[in-house]
Amino acid sequence: MARKPTDKQLFKMKNEWLGQFYEEVKPKDFYRAVFPEGSFEREGHPEDEKCNGILTVIEGEKARNYIVFDDLNMVDEVKGAEFAIMSPVGYSGRNRTAKNARWLYGIAIDLDGVEMEQLRDVFHQMKHDFLPQCTYCVNSGHGLHLYYLFEKPVPLYRHLQDQLREFKYELIRKIWNRYTSTYTEREQVQYQGIFQGFRMVGTQSKLGKRYPVTAFETGERVTVEYLNDFLMDDSKAVTDFKYKSDLSLAEAKKKYPEWYEKRIVRGEKKGRWHIKRDLYDWWLRKIQSGAVSAGHRYWCLSVLASYGIKCDIPEDEVLTDALALLPMFDNISDDEHNRFTKRDVLDAMNMYQENYVTYSRAEVERVSGISVPQNKRNGRKQEQHIKIMNAIRDIEHPDGEWRNKEGRPKGSSQQKKLVEKWQKSHPDGKKADCIRDTGLSKPTVYKWWQTVGKETDLVEKRQGAEWYENNKTDC
């Protein structure tokens, strides 16, 4: 029986196989292809009013972002670095956040568990149009990074970001199959968002400095429409690349003065629900119980960070909890080259920001590989739950003083008046604002909300809000 090659031998074998059919490209040439000349601002020329690339170098326990200008000189400066990552995204500002993202230059997919058999099958499936042909294939060590570079960059309007994330997840589902990876179980699939950074071409792979991340040109640029044809779920296709409103900011100011004052002048953010810390504590216990697999450690901590800000947990407490998990996470490493370090923890903590509070239950399950059951009254059915709550009520109020002799719950007339008063004071107000300002429950406000006679065109208001969210992302 042939002896199985070591990881380092396998890395060289993959480079040799790819080199037989495709041309290897230098790091700067690769990133010039990702970000064509003129994509970014020239260094020292803020009048260009363009975006820039951002690369992140992690040294020890510190992570530092560097601006990449149009000359791409920073790519050469980090060549050989132990840990440097970059995403195919143009940003405004110095931080790799969804809020600052402006242009998506391509989709990069991390395919792990790739040995020689899987490598050959990836390109066999591409050749026969079962998988989309990637523009570049990057040998990253244990796996491959497949880059699908767009003919034209896609604008990262706020309303498109969620669609593009679901679109990418669906592509990952297609590409990560039992023939392309040794990880054959569905829970082993690793889902990455559109802003995910990958080890840079020319820097060290996990195998060390003698095994740099290497890129090969393997195909043509693609369009989103081309990738749409490979989705198993057509509902995840992305077709809308335009703003949802044609109003100028001056027109929006005139048409929606209250919205303009609140969002533009005062800079107030959209409101959101603040969750009790029970969710955060539950997730932390779930991780501590050993439900995490080696391939999902990063994302489990990322979810912890997003739940931390969602539940108003102080960042230092979240970081302390995350670092306490480090020994356990490192112990489940697959091999010596897949160790989990403080750098991984710090990178996952990037998710501690408002942009990630909207992570859905289904999305958390995808990226973490952990089941998140719906909260259904502690597992009880509605009928059983009502009987238990009624029994508790009768024990606490044996004389039935909870009843209102007039036939409606106590305080309902006051609640109705409170809602009506708030509406009169805020003729253009929304239910969510009323809930926040009055402290009443959502069902109560919805029950007494009066819509008859209101002259506000809610459809136009939504369009105005969408205009702001989309247009403020312009470079």
Enclosing H/E stretch for 138: strand 136-139
Cα–Cα distance, 165 to 171 (Å, whole number): 10
**What pLDDT sits at residue 403?**
58
**What pLDDT sits at residue 269?**
55
Question: Would you list the DSSP string of 84-117?
Answer: EEE-SEEESSSS--GGGEEEEEEEEEEE-S--HH
What is the three-class DSSP state of 55? strand
**What pLDDT sits at residue 397?**
63
Question: Residue 66, class by beta-carbon neighbours within 10 Å (0-12 exposed, 13-18 middle, 19+ buried)?
Answer: middle
Instruction: Determine the Cα angle at 89 with ends 156 and 37, to 5°.
Output: 110
Close Cβ partners of 30 (under 8 Å, ≥ 6 residues apart): 136, 138, 201, 215
Enclosing H/E stretch for 25: strand 23-25
**What pLDDT sits at residue 474?**
45
Residues forming a β-bridge with 400: none
User: Which long-range contacts link 168-172 to residues 24+ away (Cβ below 8 Å)?
Assistant: 168/107, 168/109, 168/192, 168/193, 168/194, 169/236, 169/363, 169/366, 170/231, 170/232, 170/233, 170/236, 171/107, 171/109, 171/132, 171/227, 171/230, 171/231, 172/109
Q: What distance lies between CA 87 and its chain's CA centroid?
A: 13
**What pLDDT sits at residue 334?**
72
Longest dimension (CA), the chain: 87
Give the mean pLDDT per block of 10 residues along the chain (475 residues). Answer: 84 96 96 96 89 88 87 95 93 83 94 94 95 96 94 88 90 92 81 88 92 97 94 85 60 74 65 75 92 86 88 85 90 77 78 67 83 66 66 65 50 76 82 81 80 42 51 47
**What pLDDT sits at residue 332?**
87
